[in-house]
Amino acid sequence: MTDRYAVIGNPIGHTKSPMIHGSFAQSTGQDIEYTAIEGPLDGFAGAVHAFRDAGGRGMNVTAPFKLQAFELATDRLERAELAGATNALKFEGDRIYADNFDGVGLVADITRNLGVEIKGACVLLLGAGGAARGALQPFLAQRPSVLVLANRTLETAVALADRFAPYGEVIASGYGDLSGQHFDIVVNATSASLKGELPPLPAEVLKGTKLAYELVYGKGLTPFLRLAQNAGAAQLADGVGMLVEQAAEAFAWWRGVRPDTRGLIDRMKIPLV
């Protein structure tokens, strides 16, 4: 019997998830059907329940529903609880389980695919929204020497640093306080690149950086990546690897088998020019 899964978001026409999970299913011999659902902005819970009642086994969740999915869940795993948001649901009986694989996917892409070690590295994470919240615990688990969280509103960064203190030290910072500092890994977790803008980052911060990582994918050389390139960053990457790796984690959670990701990432990459 074919098991049903889906991704839900609004809008959803741009999603790559059906192609990614279809590839995973084919490579692992799993009998699944995976579709995209455009959830009503005022009817997310109803859409989830309708899919589950029709036999759905699990869902990926994308914008703008990650917070609503978190609230809808009956059981939240630690990563989702810490992030305050979820990007994956699993249905078992009357239970709705929630997890968040964004940060796990990001760390897997950096360490496994890009070959950059986080342990002992100086890491700068830009932004304090949902993407940053999902990334903090997986980053701290890698034991960087320093993890700085920079945000336009310092109070938000401070609150996040306090929230994640049991998992490791996070230094909250305003952008202006970064001048004169240098980092091995700089991750842009802000939404600036979606608008073709730059976070207010001093350019010298990127000088000599081993890896400049842009969470946005498919946009080529974003303003952030261009700034890093001009500053002499050794390696540039966008978020396509994170996208595939977090999908693989959800697939493994649902199906009990983790697909290979490297070939699919290579096929999905576009030149950073």
Catalytic (active site) residue 66: yes
Q: If you count them, how many residues does the chain have?
A: 273
Strand 95-99: give its sheet, edge to edge: 32-38, 3-9, 56-61, 88-92, 95-99, 75-76
Cα(218)–Cα(65) distance, rounded to whole angstroms? 22
Quick one: residue 61, left, alpha or beta (phi over 0 = left, psi -120 to 50 = alpha)?
Answer: beta
264 to each of 16, 114, 241, 260, how far by Cα in Å? Answer: 12, 14, 9, 8
Of 16, 66, 195, 207, the catalytic one is 66
Q: Which two tokens stand for residue 96?
A: 């709705």
| Cα–chain center distance at 167 | 19
CB 97, CB 159: distance < 8 Å: no
Q: Given the DSSP bridges, would you call strands 236-237 and 211-214 parallel, antiparallel or unpaired?
A: parallel
Active centre residues (catalytic): 66
